[in-house]
Amino acid sequence: MVRVTVDPLTRVVGPLRLDTEVDENGIITEARSSNMIFRGFERIYRGQDPRDSILLSQRICGVCPVAHSIAAVNALDDLYGVAESVPKDALVARNINHGLNTISNHLLHFYILWGPDLANPAYGDVLSTFGNLGSSVWKEFLGRFAPISYKIGGESIPPGSSYVGVIPMKKILHDAGAVIGGKMPHQTVMYPGGVTNNPTASDVETMSSIMSEVVDFLNATSIGIPFEEWVGNTYRASSPKKAVDFFIEHLHELTERSLRTNDLSRSNGWGDVELYSALGSELIGEQIMGLPISLKHDNMSGYNDLSKIGFLSYGDFYNVEHEGYEPTSPAGDRFQTSGFMTSSLEYHKFDSAKVTESVKHAFYDDYEGDKHPYEGVTEPFTDPGRIDYQDFSAEKYTWSKAPRYEGIPCEVGPFSRLLIMKEPLVTGLVQLFLDNGYSPFNSFTRMIARMQELFIITNEVIQWITTDLDPNGRFRVDIDMSAAEDSRGMGICEAPRGALGHWVITDNDAKVANYQIVTPSAWNLSPRDSEGVPGPLEHALIGSTISAVDNWLGVDFSNPTGILHVGRSYDPCITCAVHTIDLTGKNPPGMVRLL
């Protein structure tokens, strides 16, 4: 047995440590996920005006700050009792703000945080054994996804065209976020009862122009057919079967056209999504397309015990056909509906009362059993001698708590959201994998779902900007400040990487008595719970191969592509899960200085 550790796994946004044991056949047999720093925002809020949480919580994460502002303002809408009267145009403005940040986040993840792994030299070694076709595939991977300052065997590799091309998209999407949000990141317009700004006709024109540039990028880079044609035949397909039929037929046309010439270039119709769709999956690439090789990402992270995994969505994006919304996010109330899906694909309505957290395996003072966030306690270890990431047998090994839904670990994120909202392409792909004896829960479907959601949200944001947003509309209602005395509120939404919840309780001075945040990375990267059940990422690693293409060229413990792909497919964000710690003893709770 060999111990293989990747630390840090994350390319940006905080350190995630993945510790594994791997057998002599290159199969991961044990895994631990450690988030290396403490968040502590729950302690910062104590004694504060609850309205401060909207601005403070955005400092949790520079990648998805808008999602935290949405969760915080939802909690305050509930706290002040105005959720059901927030004006329709305020909901539209919030949706646009949130959607722009989601698009930006998905582009960042696919092209900057995950895509460079396709240029791993291990794939070059494997593909070189497949003649001209293998060489052509490797040329495309390097030419599109290589990161900056990259070398293989001492030779400098130019940054990939897709990697470089997405950077200006990040900038202009931030520009659009600043138009609707006042500034970006950490926009300033969210307020209980609505938003504080009135968008102008000029703002609408500016955001529309930026979204046209985003669509141009998707057409030129991500997909080889027009964006509208892709969305029309997948997301708007009349059934999952028709969506998958279109998807497979489109890949068939590209494959038949290109196999004769070994030309998988963009000019021959291969967008990044089509290239990964055909080459990333053994089922689709080898079994259905007849290609001699694939990356076999559909053999990774298949959850070997399906009784210990579920799929959760809190629901996201307000229904803008009417004013107000229901804080509990009942089924069908939001554009992406809430729900819980079992591993046997049984749908259940979401009930926020079933969300709990355990600290048994995290660096916090223990409490009895699991607690709902309203009763949550965040008391970190203050003795550094009790914090040890190195001991693989230690009971406590991370700063993340262990969220559970009715006691079940849950994967959250685009795959869960699209599965629960019955999005045609993802639903059809799940059935395709099941019909062919494959697990539908894997790194490949997780990444395809993220890109499909990128296209869907892009389509919806354009609709909200150009059709639903009325600059002459009503954008706020007044709040009764006394409503915050001895009150409480829940704010739930979906950050780009998954379910995000804020729970706040106030005292008789209308100040925060308790504030708890349950983030998507806490769900996906959680440690074992009070029953010893691994979190989703830990579970997904067990049984996966350590090296490229199912250990095609043997086991290479020094280049664990299996850990890299499985871990990064969840879009891990540790600043969301954990943050800072003060061990000096000089600052009591509530007095931590923000930098």
Question: For residue 362, which phi and psi values (nearest 5 degrees)?
Answer: -120, 165
CATH code: domain 2-577 is: 1.10.645.10
3-class DSSP assignment, residue 189: coil
Tell me whether residue 42 is annotated as binding.
yes
Tell me whether residue 579 is annotated as binding.
yes
Q: Identify the weakest region by mean pLDDT among 38-42, 70-74, 585-589.
A: 585-589
pLDDT class of 332 with cuts at 50, 70, 90: very high
| pLDDT for 595 beyond 80 | no
d(CA 451, CA 147): 19
Q: What is the pLDDT of residue 62?
A: 76
Tens digit of each residue's pLDDT (9 = 90 or more) over 102-126: 999 999 999 999 999 999 999 999 9
| pLDDT for 590 beyond 50 | no
Region 233-246: what's the mean pLDDT? 98
| pLDDT for 431 beyond 90 | yes
pLDDT class of 260 with cuts at 50, 70, 90: confident
Burial annotation 505-518 (CB, 10 A radius, 16+ → b, else e): bbeeebbbbbbbbb
Q: Taking Cα atoms as reference points, which of 197, 113, 169 lies closest to residue 458?
A: 169
| pLDDT for 250 beyond 90 | yes
Tens digit of each residue's pLDDT (9 = 90 or more) over 549-571: 999 999 999 999 999 999 999 99
Tell me whether residue 493 is annotated as binding.
no
Tens digit of each residue's pLDDT (9 = 90 or more) over 169-189: 999 999 999 999 999 988 899
Tens digit of each residue's pLDDT (9 = 90 or more) over 274-325: 999 999 999 999 999 999 999 999 999 889 999 999 999 999 999 999 999 9
Task: Give every CB contact of residue 593 below 8 A, 6+ residues apart in sequence.
Answer: 587
| pLDDT for 12 beyond 90 | no
d(CA 539, CA 555): 21
Burial annotation 156-191 (CB, 10 A radius, 16+ → b, else e): ebebbbbbebbeebbebbbebbbbbbbebbbbbbbb
Q: What is the pLDDT of residue 584?
A: 57
Q: What's the mean per-residue pLDDT of the chain?
A: 94
pLDDT class of 587 with cuts at 50, 70, 90: low
